[in-house]
């Protein structure tokens, strides 16, 4: 059992400021029509909630998918599968995938491939965290909250073995 996550990497205030900045940029980029936020469970639940609240545009639609890639291990197994699909048809709509973290890129490269086949009007990615050093598969990410070093982080939706998702800041898991 690892020790507690005792080093704060990104404070709650830093996250909230950055989320508002990202929302402003997204609003400028999508002036009209419905915008689907496709959030990837479970890790993105807190980010999508804050991002959605920060968006003041009229039509924001929130949909969830679940993709499994890690299990309870600290490193990616490279295995990806959809465990919960969308309930809606996204054909012809602007779609923004909302993720908590991009690590190897395996999850997002798979997800963008399958969603693109559904012919959205546009498909982009917003991630709170990006670990570019870890990339194995290329991913075209339009909105990045914070680039972070290759350390195991928890909090603000991110877990270790399902714990720590409730923290309002991002911490480095030590031990
Ligand atoms: C995390 C994260 C991304 C994925 C990123 O999800 O939410 O979906 O890993 O890693 P990758 O770039 O190496 O593919 P995880 O599978 O841990 O599930 P969770 O969101 O339910 O915690």
Q: How far is the CA of 126 from the centre of ligand 1 (A)?
A: 14
- Alpha carbon distance 151, 103 (integer Å): 11
Q: How far is the CA of 79 from the centre of ligand 1 (A)?
A: 11
Cα four-point dihedral sign 103, 109, 112, 114: negative
Ligand 1 proximal residues by C-beta, below 6 Å: 40-43, 67-70, 76, 99-108, 159
Question: Is it the case that residue 70 has pLDDT exceeding 60?
Answer: no
Look at ligand 1, atom 13, and give the residue with the nearest C-alpha.
104
Tens digits of residue pLDDT in 107-128: 999 999 999 999 999 999 999 9
Structure tokens, 74: 């600290």
Mean pLDDT, residues 150-161 taken together: 96
- Alpha carbon distance 99, 139 (integer Å): 12
Question: Is it the case that residue 102 has pLDDT exceeding 80?
Answer: yes
CA nearest to 170, candidates 3, 2, 7: 7
When pLDDT is cut at 50, 70 and 90, the band that residue 1 belongs to is very low
Tens digits of residue pLDDT in 2-43: 556 779 999 999 999 999 999 999 999 999 999 999 999 999
Look at ligand 1, atom 7, and give the residue with the nearest C-alpha.
43
Q: How far is the CA of 32 from the centre of ligand 1 (A)?
A: 31
Answer yes or no: are the C-beta atoms of 69 and 106 closer than 8 Å: yes
Q: Tell me if residue 103 is catalytic.
A: yes
Answer yes or no: are the C-beta atoms of 102 and 141 closer than 8 Å: yes
β 94-102/143-147 pair status:
unpaired
């Amino acid at each position: 059992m690892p020790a507690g996550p005792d080093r704060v990497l990104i404070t709650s205030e830093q996250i909230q400021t950055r989320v508002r900045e990202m929302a402003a940029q997204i609003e400028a980029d999508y002036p009209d029509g419905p915008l689907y936020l496709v959030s990837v469970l479970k890790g993105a639940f807190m980010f999508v909630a804050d991002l959605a609240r920060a968006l003041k545009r009229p039509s924001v639609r929130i949909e969830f998918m679940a993709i499994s890639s890690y299990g309870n291990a600290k490193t990616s197994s490279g295995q990806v599968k959809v465990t919960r699909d969308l309930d809606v048809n996204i054909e012809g709509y602007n779609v923004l995938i909302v993720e908590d973290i991009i690590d190897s890129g395996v999850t997002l490269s798979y997800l963008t491939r399958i969603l693109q086949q559904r012919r959205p009007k546009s498909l982009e990615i917003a991630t709170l965290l990006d670990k570019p050093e870890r990339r194995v598969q290329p991913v075209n990410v339009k909105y990045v909250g914070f680039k972070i070093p290759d350390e195991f982080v928890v909090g603000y939706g991110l877990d270790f073995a399902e714990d720590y998702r409730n923290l309002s800041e991002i911490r480095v898991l030590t031990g």
